Amino acid sequence: MKTFGLVIILSVLATPVAAQWVNHPTSGIPRTRDGKPNLTASVPKTPDGKVDLSGLWQRISPKYRRNIAADLKPEEIQSWARTLVQERQEDLGKGHMSVQCLPWGPSYTTSERLFKIVQTPGLILMLDEGLSYRQIFMDGRPLETNPNPSWMGYSVGRWEGDTLVVQSFGFNAETWLDSAGHPHTEALRMTERYRRRDFGHMDVEVTFEDPAVYARPIKVPLSAELQPDTELIEAVCNEGGDRNLEHWVGKASDEKASSIKVAPEILARYAGSYVEQDLWGPGPHPRTIQVTVSDGALFAELSNRGKVQLSPQTNTTFAGFFGWSLTFVTDSQGTATHLLEMHISGNYRYTKAK
Amino acid sequence: MKIKAVVVIVGIGLLLAARPIVAHHAFAAEFDANKPVKLTGAVTKFDWTNPHAWIYIDAKDETGKVANWGFELAAASGLMRQGWTRFSLKAGDVVTIEGTKAKNGSNNANAQTVIVASTGQKLFAGANQGQNP
C-alpha cells in the first residue's frame, strides 16, 4: 500500500502538470510485456465481425501532402488552374484554409493531421482537432444527386472485405486540394479506401475526380499510424483573429529579387545530406534535406517533396524553401556542420551526415 | 529509488511518444531571416492562441526607448503536446527572446528562443531541445 501510494506520488511528479490527457495511457490496446503499445498486434474486430478502425490516427503523406498532382503532366491540368496554383504560391499560401482558419474540406483526407475514428455499426465519425467532423453513413443510403455544397461534403461508406470504402460528394469550391494550391470545383467526387494492416498501421488511398479541372482521376496513396497514449487537443484556428495576417506582407518573388551571387566554392561546402534533430511538426521523422549544387545554384530537397532552387540572401542564409529559410552553420574551415530551417515557431536543426 | 527511475523513464517516454502538430505557415510571408533581434523585458501579455501563441514584452530598443514587442510562437496545441501550457509564463515574468523581425517593420518578431531571466530556463522548446517542463 505504501509502495502504491509512492508510485502515485512519483507518477504525478514525473508527468508534467500540463500533461493531463495528452499523455493518458489508452485503455484496451494490446501491450508488450514491458507495457509498450504493441502496434504490430492483430487487427481488432467489432462484435459483428467487421474490422474496427476506431482510434486516434496520424496520416503520413510525404510525397503528396504538398502537391497531390505530383504525377500529372502539366497538360492534364486546365490552364486556369495552373495559373491559379502559381498565384497561390506567389502569395506563399495566404489563401490556404490553415491561414484563413477555414475547414480543410476534401484535402483533410490527404493532409498530415491527427484524426480520431469512432466506429458504430451504422455510422463512422472522423473528428479533427480544429473541431470539424465528418459523418460517414453506413446505413446503405445513397449520396444525393444535387446536395447543397458544404465544407466537408457528404459521405457514405461500405465494406469491401476488410477495406472501408467511402464515397463523398457535395463539397463547396472554396478549399484547396493541397498546400501547393490545386483547386477543385463543386463537381468533385472523392473516394477513400481504408485498410487496417495491423493494430497500429493503416493503408489509405484517396481518389479525386474532377474532370472540369483534371484530365484523369488523381490517386493519392498514403498511410496512417495509430497514436497510442495520447488524445486530440482542441485547436481553434481563429482564436488569434487576423493577427498573423496583419504581418503577412511577403511574396515568394521578394526573395528572388533580393538574392545575391554566392561564389561556387562556398556553395560547394554546403552540399550534402542533413538529418533533422528537432522533432516538431507532423509527418515522418526525422526528415532529411539533400543539398546539391548545379550550374552555380544551390538546390534543396526535403524528404521526397521535390527539389527547389534556393535564393541566396547572404553567404549563409538562403530563402525559397517552401516558405522557410535555410541558414548554414559552418566550422572554422567554412564547411557546413549543420543547418537551421527557419520557421515561425523557431529554428529546426539538421545535422550534416558524415 | 528503482520505482522512481522507472516512473521517470515512463514519463519521459510518454512525452516523446506524441507527435506534435504545428501549423506550418510560411515564415517568409511574415519574417525577414536577415533581421535578427534579441530583447529582454517583462511580459505584458501572453496569448495562448491558435494558430500561433504570442508573447508581448516591454523592452528597450537600441536607443533606450521602451516599446511593446510581440513575439510569435508555435500553435498553442503544438506547444501543449510538448508539455507547455498557458500557465508556463505569466505577465511580469522577465524573459530574453531571440528571433527575427517582421518584414513590415512593425514591433513584431518570431520567437526562436525564450529564456527566463531569473532562472535561465528555456521555454517553449521542441521535443529534442532538452528542456521540457
Is residue A320 domain-resident? yes
User: HEC string of A68-136?
Assistant: CCCCCCHHHECHHHHHHHHHHHHCCCCCCHHHHCCCCHHHHHCCCCEEEEEECCCEEEEEECCCCEEEE
Which residues on A lie below 8 Å from B112 (Cβ)?
Answer: 346-347
Is residue A109 domain-resident? yes
Q: What integer is the mean pLDDT of A111-123?
A: 95
A124 within 8 A of A104, measured Cβ to Cβ: no
3-state secondary structure of B102: strand
Nearest CB among A14, A282, A317 relative to B33 is that of A317
For residue A268, the surrounding DSSP H or E stretch is helix A264-268
pLDDT recorded at residue A186: 98
pLDDT tens digits for A246-277?
A: 889 999 999 889 999 999 999 999 999 999 88
Q: What integer is the mean pLDDT of A70-76?
A: 96
pLDDT at residue A142 is higher than 70: yes
Instruction: Looking at the structure, tell me whether residues A274 and A194 fall in a common domain.
Output: no
Nearest-by-CA chain B residue for A7: B3
Which residues on A lie below 8 Å from B128 (Cβ)?
Answer: 277-279
Q: How far is CA B17 from each of CA A173, B14, B67, rounded to the nearest angstrom?
A: 37, 5, 41
Is residue A30 domain-resident? no
Instruction: Looking at the structure, tell me whether residues A256 and A109 fall in a common domain.
Output: no
A115 within 8 A of A127, measured Cβ to Cβ: yes
Instruction: Looking at the structure, tell me whether residues A112 and A187 fall in a common domain.
Output: yes
Instruction: Looking at the structure, tell me whether residues A261 and A222 fall in a common domain.
Output: no
d(CA B76, CA B43): 17
Matching residue, cell 561546402: A269
pLDDT recorded at residue A169: 98
d(CA B15, CA B81): 8
Residue where a domain stops, chosen among A237, A270, A300: A237
* Low-confidence residues of chain B: pLDDT under 50: 1, 5-22, 127-133
Which residues on A lie below 8 Å from B23 (Cβ)?
Answer: 98, 237
pLDDT recorded at residue A66: 85
pLDDT recorded at residue A304: 61
Q: Which 8-state DSSP code applies to residue A46?
A: -
**What is the CA B94 to chain-centroid distance, rounded?**
13
CB–CB contact A313 B77 (8 Å): no
Instruction: Looking at the structure, tell me whether residues A86 and A173 fall in a common domain.
Output: yes
d(CA A40, CA A225): 11
Residues with Cβ < 8 Å from A10, sequence gap 6 or more?
A: B3, B4, B7, B8
Instruction: Looking at the structure, tell me whether residues A103 and A214 fall in a common domain.
Output: yes
Is residue A102 domain-resident? yes
Q: What integer is the mean pLDDT of A89-100?
A: 94
Strand ranges inside chain A, DSSP E? 55-60, 114-119, 123-128, 133-137, 154-160, 163-169, 189-196, 201-209, 218-226, 272-276, 288-294, 297-302, 307-309, 311-312, 317-321, 324-330, 336-343, 346-352
d(CA A188, CA A168): 9
- The per-residue pLDDT of chain A, averaged, comes to 90
pLDDT tens digits for B90-125?
A: 999 999 999 999 999 999 999 999 999 999 999 987
ipTM of this complex prediction, to 2 decimal places: 0.86
Q: What integer is the mean pLDDT of A333-346?
A: 90
pLDDT recorded at residue B11: 40
Strand partners, A350: A276, A339
pLDDT recorded at residue A279: 67
pLDDT recorded at residue A284: 64
Residues with Cβ < 8 Å from A120, sequence gap 6 or more?
A: none
Lowest mean pLDDT among A33-37, A238-242, A248-252, B127-131: B127-131
CB–CB contact A98 B27 (8 Å): no
Residue where a domain stops, chosen among A206, A237, A268: A237
pLDDT tens digits for A315-338?
A: 999 999 988 999 999 999 888 999
CB–CB contact B23 A237 (8 Å): yes
Instruction: Looking at the structure, tell me whether residues A215 and A279 fall in a common domain.
Output: no
Residue where a domain stops, chosen among A237, A269, A289: A237
d(CA B21, nearest CA chain A) in Å: 5
d(CA A201, CA A199): 6
pLDDT band of residue A170 (cuts 50, 70, 90) is very high
CB–CB contact A227 B18 (8 Å): yes
CATH number of B2-123: 2.40.50
Instruction: Looking at the structure, tell me whether residues A270 and A195 fall in a common domain.
Output: no
Instruction: Looking at the structure, tell me whether residues A196 and A297 fall in a common domain.
Output: no
CB–CB contact A255 B75 (8 Å): no
Mutation site for A-interface testing, chosen from B7, B8, B24 by largest number of A Cβ within 10 Å: B24
d(CA B92, nearest CA chain A) in Å: 21
Q: What integer is the mean pLDDT of A234-242?
A: 88
pLDDT at residue A11 is higher than 90: no
pLDDT tens digits for A50-69?
A: 999 999 999 988 788 889 99
pTM of this structure: 0.86
Which residues on A lie below 8 Å from B132 (Cβ)?
Answer: 16
pLDDT recorded at residue A246: 83
CB–CB contact B133 A243 (8 Å): no
CB–CB contact A6 B3 (8 Å): yes
pLDDT recorded at residue B83: 86
Other beta carbons within 10 Å of A238: 13
Instruction: Looking at the structure, tell me whether residues A192 and A317 fall in a common domain.
Output: no
Report the CATH number at residue A115. Answer: 2.40.128.20
Instruction: Looking at the structure, tell me whether residues A275 and A218 fall in a common domain.
Output: no
CB–CB contact A244 B72 (8 Å): yes
Which residues on B lie below 8 Å from A90 (Cβ)?
Answer: none
Instruction: Looking at the structure, tell me whether residues A71 and A209 fall in a common domain.
Output: yes
pLDDT band of residue A301 (cuts 50, 70, 90) is very high
pLDDT tens digits for A171-220?
A: 999 999 999 999 999 999 999 999 999 999 999 999 999 999 999 999 99
Nearest CB among B27, B54, B106 relative to A325 is that of B27
Is residue A64 domain-resident? yes
pLDDT recorded at residue B15: 36
d(CA A23, nearest CA chain B) in Å: 6
Count structural domains, chain A: 2
Enclosing domain of residue A342: 252-352
pLDDT recorded at residue A19: 52
CB–CB contact A129 B77 (8 Å): yes
A59: nearest Cα among A168, A202, A192: A202
d(CA B12, nearest CA chain A) in Å: 8
CB–CB contact B81 A94 (8 Å): no
Is residue A273 domain-resident? yes
CB–CB contact A22 B49 (8 Å): no
pLDDT band of residue A152 (cuts 50, 70, 90) is very high
pLDDT recorded at residue A302: 87
pLDDT recorded at residue B130: 41
